[in-house]
Amino acid sequence: MIDDMLRTPSAVRDAERYTAHNYHPLPVVISSAEGSWLIDVDGRRYLDCLAGYSALNFGHRHPELIRAAHQQLDRLTLTSRAFIHDQFADFCRELAALCGKELVLPMNTGAEAVETGIKVARKWGYQVKGVAPGQATIVVADGNFHGRTTTIVSFSTDADARDDFGPYTPGFTVVPYGDLAALEAAIDGNTVAVLLEPIQGEQGVVLPPEGYLPGVRRVCTERNVLFVADEIQSGLGRTGRTFACDHEGVVPDMYLLGKALGGGIVPVSAVAADADVLGVLRPGQHGSTFGGNPLACAVGTEVVRLLATGEFQRRSAELGERLRAGLEGLLGKGLVAVRVRGLWAGVDIDPTLMTGRQACERLMERGVLAKDTHGSTIRLAPPLVITADEIDHAVAQLAAVLAG
């Protein structure tokens, strides 16, 4: 009888009935949100510990981002790149400065940023490095997640992402993540780029061995190969620095950015690099109708300005240590491994207790939303506006779940 009074069951049934099953969401139906908190259609509150896979780094409906969006909605939303609009230069200039690069190419989704990076690297290889036409290769890591386009899944090692989507795009060499010797051995005269996530998020927030990223930078420089860093999830404050590469003082040749760049309001992505790399593109060779649109640029510029203060990077670093301490206190009490960098954690649950999915379902029942990945691993990535008390609350709920 109580279920008949709730809106959630029917909304879940309708979603299952009328949509393709390309996701397996938790049975919660969100209707509003603010900061770190979500409210479902039946009025129940949940602490968001996923933050849209880092797309909501600044929390839900951050007032400065909402203000920027509202102001732009009242003026201009789309022109296409056939014209220049008054928000475009500010966004590109300020994002380039944040990245320490000369040029920016705005797109929409993270996968588009990756595809753009691949195209630019190949063109650079042919025009600058002198690779023979059609022979360019890119070295990538196993366990990677760069998106789900046909080209990107061609070098995925995840069966769910890859199987039955062939024929696959050639031109990629897969090596073990964190194995510098294997990476160096895979580079030959046709290699134009190494494409890596500085932290593998989808794999379970897997951190590279100390010294690996500086080693990749050294090898790429010595072998005249571009180092392309996919910072779509790890960048823009998530790990306690502006970029995850910053933790080891590494500057890639190309940043791939997305998710948080749109402030949780609109899809915004970008590629940032110097002119000797991005300058290989000419009119008509790459583009997007919505890439760099006025609304996206207005929101994206405000995101860059929030990051320029350093406040969110500091919050992530400081609160991340609190999260680390809380999670490490659960080792041997249901957790078998914890990996934390800033406000980003991969948590491995004892598989004899429960799966990651079961843990997330039980957390949901206790008012905390998280996401599982690969068996008994869950990811925690709360908005950077979360408070210390809210972190303690999330850890306490996880402890209760593990205790049964």
Can 172 be counted among the known catalytic residues? no
Q: Which of 58, 91, 145, 172 is catalytic?
A: 145
Q: Which of 40, 230, 253, 372 is catalytic?
A: 230
33 bridge partner residues: 38
pLDDT of residue 253: 99
373 bridge partner residues: 377
d(CA 21, CA 11) in angstroms, rounded, equals: 15
* Beta strand residue intervals within 58-190, DSSP E: 103-107, 137-141, 172-175
47 bridge partner residues: 37, 368
103 bridge partner residues: 273
pLDDT of residue 3: 59
Structure letter (DSSP) for residue 243: S
Structure letter (DSSP) for residue 23: -
d(CA 296, CA 265) in angstroms, rounded, equals: 9
Cα 42 to Cα 2, 8, 46, 240, 368: the distances in Å are 12, 7, 12, 35, 16
What domains appear along the chain, each with residue ranges and CATH number? 2-61+311-403 (3.90.1150.10), 76-308 (3.40.640.10)
DSSP character string of 158-209: -HHHHTT-PSPP--EEEE-TT-HHHHHHH--TTEEEEEE-SSBTTTTSBPPP
What is the per-residue burial (b if ≥16 Cβ within 10 Å, else e) of 99-115?
bebebbbbbbbbbbbbb
CA 272 to chain CA centroid, nearest Å: 16
pLDDT tens-place string over residues 304-316: 999 999 999 999 9
d(CA 304, CA 308) in angstroms, rounded, equals: 6
pTM of the model: 0.97
pLDDT of residue 5: 81
pLDDT of residue 133: 98
Count of alpha carbons within 13 angstroms of residue 105, beta-carbon side = 27
> Which residues of the chain register pLDDT less than 50?
1
Residue type, 361: E
Cβ pair 108, 288 in contact under 8 A: yes
Can 145 be counted among the known catalytic residues? yes
- Structure-token match 């510098």, residue found: 180
Cα 224 to Cα 38, 101, 181, 297: the distances in Å are 48, 19, 17, 33
Can 259 be counted among the known catalytic residues? yes
Q: Which of 259, 312, 348, 371 is catalytic?
A: 259
d(CA 337, CA 341) in angstroms, rounded, equals: 14
Q: Is 54 left (phi over 0), alpha (psi -120 to 50) or beta?
A: left
